[in-house]
Amino acid sequence: MAGKSSEGDYLANGFRNVDGQATFEKFRTCLTFMDGLPSFQSYKAEMMRRLDLRPGHRVLDVGCGLGFDVDRVADCVGPEGEAVGVDLSRGFVDAATSRNSGGSSRARFVVGDAHQLDFEDEAFDACRVDRSLQHFENPKRVISEMCRVLRPGGRIVCAEPDWGTFTIASPDRPKVRRIVEVWSDRFRHGWIGRELFGLLHATGLADIEITGHLLVAEGFSAVDTVFDVRRTVDVLAETDDAQQFRDWLADLLASDVGCPVIATVTLFLVSGRRN
């Protein structure tokens, strides 16, 4: 789908090149808000458990964004360990570094391409990637790079949504199906969640574990912050009957007054150990 509203500040594809957008603050707000949601904190806690961190470990966070999880990892590995966050966005790395100034010296943030990590082989005890593979050009290559820099016995943990499971609590099924289709298709890899097991299995990792976690946003303001519903309606207006989707959005906003609108997506959490 071409056109002005398919680019720029649309969350579904804007994370590919955050620094190239005029609305960096929108992406910062989205990540900050999601980090505080209970359902997000729940799966993140499970990620930490599966990383099996120990004092002194060196850990890599690929596509670290604003670096909230890098800070948490740094707290776990202690003064002898190190948590390194790498992201393609200079804006995200600068924001993470600035926020962390005066904090843990065990947290470090660098600008880098996940497809070609600038680290030696077997440099880390654990690697994680959280909701970033959906945006990368070649997730298979990224996972291969994570395996390369992981020491034998180390663990990789990946968390990705599957946008084919996206739901919005609305009785108008045809409109919701169209919203889900457009939103999902704007991601490079909208179905990456269901593909994770196969991607990790192909690397030869052992002890692969897969679980599903429901991510929930409650109330239209939260739903729109996380899932960019208004922007999706704008995108639809380019090719579909614009008025019918604007009417649908108006009905959704009206229903939110009496009972908070709920939107969900299933996140797949897949982990494995390097032999």
- Residue 264's DSSP bridge partners are 167, 216
pLDDT tens digits, residue range 47-76? 999 999 999 999 999 999 999 999 999 999
Strands 58-62 and 124-130 turn out to be parallel
Q: What is the dotted CATH code of the domain comprising 4-273?
A: 3.40.50.150
What integer pLDDT is reported at residue 100 of this predicted model?
76
The span from the CA of 127 to the CA of 147, in Å, is: 8
What integer pLDDT is reported at residue 20 of this predicted model?
81
The span from the CA of 244 to the CA of 253, in Å, is: 14
Task: Encode 25-55: b = buried (16+ Cβ within 10 Å), e = exposed.
Answer: ebbbebbeebeebebbeebbeebbebbebee
What integer pLDDT is reported at residue 206 of this predicted model?
97
pLDDT tens digits, residue range 157-186? 999 999 999 999 999 999 999 999 999 999
3-class state of residue 207 by DSSP: strand
How far is residue 158 from each of residues 8, 40, 121, 275, measured CA to CA in Å?
27, 14, 20, 17
Residue 127, pLDDT > 50, answer yes
Percentage of residues in the chain having pLDDT higher than 70: 96
